[in-house]
Amino acid sequence: MKNETEIKELVREKYSQIASQSKKQNASSCCGATGCGNVYSIMSDEYAGLAGYNPDADLGLGCGLPTEFAKINTGDTVVDLGSGAGNDAFIARRIVGEQGRVIGIDITEKMIELAQNNAAKLGYENVEFRHGDIDSIPLVSNKADVVVSNCVLNLVPNKHKVFGEIFRILKPGGHFCISDIVIEGELPSKWKEIAELYAGCVSGAIQKSEYLGIIEEAGFTNTTLQKDKTIVIPDEILAEYLSQEEIDEYKKHKVRITSITVYADKPSKDERKCCDPGSGCC
């Protein structure tokens, strides 16, 4: 398996290529530049009916609708991690209104450029996009009322750091709502070495129980699964990576790949004093 630096560069490269294509091109070329079958289209949910939806910002890369469950209020500051072309950020902006603010963070410079262009076309002055890693978020502590993210955290090797950063940037009493890919059971070991499947959100996923455990370890409370959707990968896509014998073995073990939307609160008072200066905990 590649190291953290190599994985980040892989993700940056793949999503830079995707940013250069339209949603239609990505779909017709089997999830865009990644060459990973139609995995994205299998995972994605329908956005078109949501207020604030802008088709130019929708590259079809999500696996849920986190803003639907995020309890965003007028005037909130919302941070979107892995903001892509701005899809979820613009929907959040529709909810926070003119008095609120939305900040998108993305590791891919071409995605940032695309999102900024989309925001300019829409005339949004209270939506901004910043380049940066989401395991080292370029924001001060206690900044956000709400953090959202859509099918991105599975791409980050160190998920403990990401949830620690989410905890740090949320205001006391704030919360997050994240859609992501997790698994139950063991994926074929071969998938761990296939770059396209990492960029396609499959082989970067971890066990559902581990994922929820990391959230608890980070200090969050009231963790709630808002949605739990099984992702079924068709045989024709499995055949791109596995022999028939390996496909049979994969099905035999009944591995469940699932899109979850999870909500959790940052306590109003952190009894652990984790973020006190000099604690070394954050």
88/76 Cα distance (integer angstroms): 15
The full set of domains in the chain, from first to last, is 4-261 (3.40.50.150)
Q: What is the pLDDT of residue 9?
A: 74
Q: What is the pLDDT of residue 23?
A: 57
* Burial label, 276 (beta-carbon count in 10 A; 0-12, 13-18, 19+): exposed
Q: What is the pLDDT of residue 120?
A: 96
| Weakly modelled stretches of the chain, pLDDT under 50 | 28-40, 276-280, 282
DSSP letter assigned to residue 189: G
Six-digit token pair at 238?
């499995």
DSSP letter assigned to residue 279: -
Q: What is the pTM of this model?
A: 0.86
Assess contact for 197 and 183: CB atoms under 8 A. Answer: no
Q: pLDDT tens for residues 167-187?
A: 999 999 999 999 999 989 887
Six-digit token pair at 235?
């045989």
Residues contacting residue 224 through CB under 8 Å, at least 6 positions apart:
262, 263, 264
For the chain, how far is it from start to end, CA to CA, in angstroms? 27
Six-digit token pair at 90?
């613009």
Nearest to 134 by CA among 83, 206, 195: 83
Q: What is the pLDDT of residue 36?
A: 42
DSSP letter assigned to residue 273: -
Nearest to 282 by CA among 144, 167, 177: 167
Q: What is the pLDDT of residue 32?
A: 36
